[in-house]
A and B are shown apart, each in its own frame.
Chain A
Amino acid sequence: MANTMDKLTPTPGQTVGPFFGYALPFEKDNELAAPGRPGSIRLQGTVTDGAGAPIPDAILEIWQPNADGNIVAETGSLVRDGYTFTGWGRASTGNTGRYTFTTVNPGATRPGAAPFIAVVLFARGLTNRLFTRIYLPEDTAALAADPLLASLPEERRSTLLASREPDGGLRWDLRLQGDGETVFLEFDGARHAPAQGA
C-alpha cells in the first residue's frame, strides 16, 4: 500500500559565502518603494555578531504586504519601474554592518493582526539561512494578541519589534548571537491532515 505521507527530503542549504557581492545585489534592490514618494519610509539597522562586531558581509531580504495589508503578486522586483510595489527587496550590509530599505509600513493582513515584515538572513559564516520577523511597534493590542509574540518571554519578544524613528522610519537591529540575540524561526505548519490509519 502506498504511504500517502511519503515526501521528498529537502536539499540542504549552505552558506552564501563571501563572494555574493557581485552576483546577488542589483540596482534598486532595496527600494521596494521609491524614496521620497508619499508613504515611503526607511527601514534600517545593523547586523552584529556574537562579539557585538558589525557583520559587513550579510544580506537580508524582506517580503511584506502592502500598506493596505494585501499580499501582492506583482513581478518586476529585479527591474523596478519606480511605482509598482512588489513587496520584496534585498539589501547587503556595508562595512558598518548596516542595511537600509525604502518601503512602506505593512498593513494588517486581517483585522486585529499585528503587521509584520518577513525577513530572511544570509551571511558568510552562517551555514544556513535564518528566518525572522520585524513587527511594527504601534498596535499594542494586536502585538499582545500575536501568537508568535505571545509564545516568547518578554526579553526575547522585544528583538522582533522595530522602533519608530522621528522621521517616521523604522529601526531594527539584528544580533546573530549573544546578548539580545534575535529570535529566529523554524516553521512548523500543519501541512495536510494525516490520513486516518495510514
Chain B
Amino acid sequence: MTSPRQNTQQEMSAEIQAIASTYRQSLAAGAAPLTQPSLDYAPYRSSILRHPTKNLHHTDPETIELASPAFGHQDVSPLEADLTIVHNGEPQGERIKVAGRVLDGDGRPVAGQLVEIWQANAAGRYIHKRDQHPAPIDPNFTGVGRCITGADGSYAFTTIKPGAYPWKNHINAWRPAHIHFSLFGSEFTQRIITQMYFPGDQLFPLDPIYQSIVDQDARDRLVATYNHELTSPEWSLGYNWDIVLTGPKRTWTETEALGEDGEHHG
C-alpha cells in the first residue's frame, strides 16, 4: 500500500537504482533486453493500482487489428504543425523545430498517418485545468499540435522548448522536459503514445516515468538529437527524433489475401 508519508528523492532514487541493478544482473545472466517500459514499476506510484497483474495474453492479430484508421488533410490543417502561431503574439521561450520520421519495424516509412503532440509551456505549465504548478500561463501558447506524415514518413513541428515541471510522486519530484507524442501506424497493433526528451537532461536518473523503461538503450530512443542543420539562423534550434513502431505483424499470406479481396489497407 502507499506509504503514510511521501518519500524523499533519495529514497526514490534508491528504489530506482535497486530495480536497475536487478535488471543489469538479469542481462548479465543472458536475459533479453526489455525494449518497452515495465507496466509494474512501483517507483511511479500511480502505477501500483493501475498495472495488470496477469501476463499480457499472446494472440495473433486479426482482420481489423491489421488495418489502421485513416486520417487525411481534411482532418488536420497544415497550420496545426506550428504551435507558435496559434495566438496573436509570440509565445515566451526558446523556439525550436522538432522533425523526424515515423518508421515501422522493417524501416519502411509510415506515410499519411496522424501525429499528435502536447506539452507544457517554457515555464513548465500546462494549460490543463488540473495543473497546479505555480508557474505562469503563457497567453500566447496552448501547447497542442498535429500533423499528417509525408510520403517518406516525415513530420515536423515548430514549437517552444517545454520547461521541466514538478509533480507529486515524491518530495521534490520533477519531470525532465518532454513533449508527449501520439502515433498511429498502418496497423492498429502499432498504436503508441510516448514522450520525447531533450539531450543531456540532469533529471533523467531521478525521474520514475523515464526510468520505468529499465533498459538504457531503450531509454535513449526517447531522447532527441540536437541538429545544427535543422537550426535556422536568427530563428530556431533544431532537434531530430525518429520513431519506430512495432511490427508490422501482417504476414505475406495475409497481405496477398487482403490484396485479392481488394481490401488492402496498407
Contacts and interface: CB of A to CB of B under 8 A. Distances in A.
Given A7-B106, A120-B188, A122-B193, A71 B51 contact: no
A9 B217 CA distance: 10
Given A131-B189, A186-B58, A9 B116 contact: no
Contacts of A190: 60, 251, 253
Given A22-B144, A71-B265, A127 B47 contact: yes
B180 A17 contact: yes
Interface in A120-152: 120, 122-131, 147-148, 151-152
A183 interface: yes
A187 B37 contact: no
Nearest to B66: A189
B246 A191 contact: no
B87 interface: no
Interface string B105-142: 11100000010111010000011111100000000001
B29 interface: no
B51 A73 contact: no
Interface in B67-125: 67-72, 74-76, 103, 105-107, 114, 116-118, 120
Given A110-B63, A185-B59, A187-B189, A177 B244 contact: no
Given A86-B69, A118-B188, A73 B218 contact: no
A96 interface: no
A66 B94 CA distance: 46
A186 B59 contact: yes
A12 B53 contact: no
B47 A126 contact: yes
Interface in A153-198: 156, 176-178, 181-193
A50 interface: yes
Contacts of B67: 71, 73
A184 to B, nearest CB: 5
Interface SS of chain B: helix, strand, loop or mixed? loop
Interface SS of chain A: helix, strand, loop or mixed? loop
B57 A152 contact: yes
Among B46, B106, B114, max chain A CB count under 10 A is at B46
Contacts, number: 259
A34 interface: no
B59 A188 contact: yes
A70 B246 CA distance: 25
A58 to B, nearest CB: 9
A184 B57 contact: yes
A147 B59 contact: yes
A73 B127 contact: no
Given A11-B222, A77-B69, A125-B44, 7 more contacts: A10-B35, A15-B212, A19-B131, A22-B128, A63-B188, A109-B63, A193-B251
Interface of B: 35-39, 41, 44, 46-54, 56-65, 67-72, 74-76, 103, 105-107, 114, 116-118, 120, 126-131, 142-144, 146, 180, 182, 188-189, 191-195, 209-210, 212-213, 217-219, 221-222, 243-253, 263, 265
Q: Which 7 A-B pairs have the closest CB atoms?
A: A189-B249, A125-B46, A23-B118, A75-B72, A88-B69, A125-B50, A186-B56
Interface of A: 7-24, 49-51, 53, 55, 61, 63-65, 70-71, 73-79, 86-88, 106, 109-110, 113, 116, 118, 120, 122-131, 147-148, 151-152, 156, 176-178, 181-193
